[in-house]
Structures are given as structure tokens and as C-alpha cells.
Amino acid sequence: MSNRSRPVQDRRSASRLQVHLDCQFTFQGTEYEAFVRDISLKGAFLLSSFMTPNGANLSVRIKTDLMENPVVLEGKIMRSDCKEIERGRVHAFAVSFSYLPLALVTLISKLANPPKS
């Protein structure tokens, strides 16, 4: 599921898209459920029931109907916090991607310009 919103330009060097994409991340060999709250070419902000430590490396897998195959991203936790959302308290963390795969460029393009139905 994805909800598209307009890009947000702020102090970041890459615009963010506010979305809601289900994902999984792998930390120290264990996979956890999460969702992406916003994403850019350089990173993403995830919400999860599991808290990761700052500086940790992880792998994020985003599976969406917009893409034929899941988008797999490698990154590092830049900051983490706890947030209150309508479902209760969750852990939130910013991930900086280690590299820019073509699949991420394609996904962001499709999120920013959804097909007209």
C-alpha cells in the first residue's frame, strides 16, 4: 500500500516523498516488520516495533505492487527515537542508504508520478 504526497524540500539535499510502504528490515540476521514513512534517493524514515541502535547497518526490503521485484537497500541508522502514532508507541529511525540502486530511482519515480487510472 502506498499513499503519495507531494515532495517535501527542506534542508536535505534530496527531496523526500511522504509514503506508507510496508517493508522488512534485517538487523544482525533477524528480519523485522516495519513501514516506510518517507523516502528519498539518499535515505528513508522507518517505523517499527523493534528499536535499532544508532550506527547499526541493516538491509531494507520494500515490496510494492509498483515494482516487479522487491527493492533491496543497504544502509546505516543515523538516528532513532520513539514516536506516538494512532496505533500506539513505535520506534522510528532514519536510514542513510549506502548506495543508490536503479530500482530505488525507479520506485521513487513511480511514487512521484503514479499511473493515471
Q: What is the pLDDT of residues 78-97, one digit of tens each?
A: 999 988 777 778 899 999 99
* Grid cell for residue 39: 523516502
Confidence class for position 117, pLDDT limits 50, 70, 90: low
Percent of the residues in the chain that have a pLDDT greater than 70, as a whole number? 87
Within a 10 A sphere around the Cβ of 58, how many other Cβ atoms?
A: 19
What pLDDT band is residue 115 in, cutting at 50, 70 and 90? confident
Q: Which domains does the chain have, with CATH numbers?
A: 17-112 (2.40.10.220)
**Rounded distance between C-alpha atoms, residue 7 and residue 74, angstroms:** 23
Nearest CA among 48, 116, 61 for reference residue 88: 48
Is residue 13 very low, low, confident or very high in pLDDT (cuts 50, 70, 90)?
A: low
For 95, counting Cβ atoms within 10 Å of its Cβ (0-12 exposed, 13-18 middle, 19+ buried), the class is buried
Report field, pTM of the whole predicted structure over 0.85: no
pLDDT of residue 82: 87
